Amino acid sequence: MTELEILGLGHRGDGLADLDGRAVFVAGALPGERVAADVAGERGRLVEILAPSPDRIEPVCPHYGACGGCVLQHLAPAPYADFKRRLVVDALADRGLAPDVEPAAVVPPGSRRRATFAGTTAGRTPLVGFTEKASHRVVPVEACPVSVPELLATLPALRALTALVGTRKTALDLAVTATDSGADVTVSGLSAKDVDRLRLPLIDLAARFDLARLSVAGEIVVERRPPVVTIDGVAVLLPPGGFLQASRAAEAIMAEAVVAGVGAAKRVADLYAGVGTFALRLARTADVTAAEGDAAAVAALDRAARGMTGRHRIRAERRDLARRPYVEKELVGFDAVVFDPPRAGAAEQAGWIAKSDVRKVVAVSCNPATLARDLRTLVDGGYRIRRVLPVDQFLWSSHVEVVAVLERG
């Protein structure tokens, strides 16, 4: 056992100590604490807190420490929000960027509307929950303070689903979205043959637990009610497993920043548009070209756009922007560009935007590191960073969303 002084937090939320000139990370430890830990390589297992930090608080979840979903419930709100902001500041600094970064906007508990549970069995007992940190072991949950009640209400259905499938070597992925119409459940890890074998029991299960829709192995098994979400007053029918911002509160914060960043632009390109989180709002004042690689998301956005009234036109286009980004000449005529790529970022697309004459750019990202890389490209191309807003929609995790507003000149 080794005694360690915790100097700070690593980017994954673990306590950071120095041991003979090498970094050691201790999960559950906080800056300023003196702890005893079993050290192996760069990891330390917390054994005892010898001198606790004044910032240490009691976690609110009974599963905290076993479930791998949250890592920082033991940190007080103010230093926690500062940690989220610091993730962004440090990522930008790694690329030689030092703009003002606003305090993190933190969503309240009980606001996450989508989650992926793991389902497995112990003998004949179905277990549904989340996996341990750095493990495949499923920790069954009855409570989850980050989730909306509608998600937790699906747990009996998910356990019944897991029991129906039976024993498997790997856990099922049970993705649930709380929609305006009820729970939309998508099951991964089964084959088409499994669907054929279980079709009637699955349909019965969806009716018994009042699921809006149940999709398995890429197929809609039953849609009892169209799973609709409302985006800025417009009804959008979600595709199975379709991407949706995890928190409605965070979506509203990010969307407000995006709309403000675009300002008075009359023609906007919304790249990696998804089902229209930003496009539908931008269409209040601008003509929008929305590009997205997922065909189902494009179809959902196009359907929603055709049904809206009192807004400008949205042209939805299916396009793999990683392979076919909008090049310089295609960006001519746009007053603003918004892009919200996956975690890998938009390196190629940012390069073309940097060569364009587009006046305003709003970048949204769930990965500060790849965002910082893309912002560096834009700054080198003549843009100035006007605003950086961290948005913490993944409460008590080590992840953070960011909205950055840039302007040419």
Asked if residue 209 and residue 120 are part of one domain, the reply reads yes
Same domain, 152 and 256: no
- Cα–Cα distance between 222 and 408 in angstroms, integer? 50
What three-state secondary structure class fits 305? helix
Confirm or deny that 80 is annotated as ligand binding: no
Q: Tens of pLDDT along 105-121?
A: 999 999 999 999 999 99
Do 336 and 277 belong to one domain? yes
Length of the chain: 409
Q: For residue 239, what is the DSSP state?
A: P
What are the tens digits of pLDDT across the range 68-109? 889 999 999 999 999 999 999 999 999 999 999 999 999 999
Which of 193, 226, 259 corresponds to the end of one domain? 226
388 with 252, same domain: the answer is: yes
For range 157-171, the mean pLDDT: 91
Number of domains in the chain: 3
The response to whether 374 counts as a known ligand-binding position is no
Asked if 293 and 359 sit in the same domain, the reply is: yes
Is the pLDDT confidence value at 409 over 90?
no
The verdict on residue 74 lying in a domain is: no
Say if residue 245 carries a ligand binding annotation.
Answer: yes
> Region 156-170: what's the mean pLDDT?
91
Domain boundary residue, one of 226, 253, 283: 226
Q: Which pLDDT band holds residue 170 (cuts at 50, 70, 90)?
A: confident
Residue 381, CA distances (Å) to 100, 356, 378 in order: 20, 9, 5
Q: Residue 272 annotated as binding?
A: yes
Please check whether residue 76 lies inside any domain of the structure: no
The candidate with the shortest Cα–Cα distance to 294, out of 304, 286, 302, 284, is 302
Tell me how far apart the alpha carbons of residues 215 and 202 are, in angstroms, rounded to a whole number.
10
CATH number of 19's domain: 2.40.50.140
Backbone angles phi, psi at 169, to 5 degrees: -75, -35
In this structure, how many other beta carbons lie within 10 angstroms of the beta carbon of residue 256?
A: 14
Question: Does position 304 have pLDDT exceeding 90, yes or no?
Answer: yes
pLDDT of residue 105: 98
pLDDT on residue 168: 82
The domain in which residue 19 lies consists of 2-56
Residues 147 and 278 in one domain: no
Burial class of residue 23 in the structure, from the number of CB atoms within 10 Å of its CB (0-12 exposed, 13-18 middle, 19+ buried):
exposed
Of 194, 226, 258, which closes a domain?
226
Q: Which of 61, 67, 70, 366 is catalytic?
A: 366
Token code pair at residue 211? 């699921």
Whose structure tokens read 């790849």? 370
Whether 366 is catalytic: yes
Q: Is residue 144's pLDDT more than 80?
A: yes
Residue 343 located in a structural domain: yes
Asked whether residue 37 falls in the same domain as residue 95, the answer is no
Query: Residue 259: which CATH number?
Result: 3.40.50.150
**Residue 31 neighbours by CB distance under 10 Å:** 17
Please write the tens of the pLDDT for every residue from 171-211: 899 999 999 999 999 999 888 899 999 999 999 999 999 99
Q: pLDDT tens across 14-65, in order?
A: 999 999 999 999 999 999 999 999 999 999 999 999 999 999 999 999 999 8
Q: What confidence tier does 135 reach under pLDDT thresholds 50, 70, 90?
A: confident
Q: Is residue 64 part of a domain?
A: no
Residues 262 and 343 in one domain: yes
Residue 134 has pLDDT above 80, yes or no: no
Is there a single domain that holds both residue 204 and residue 256? no
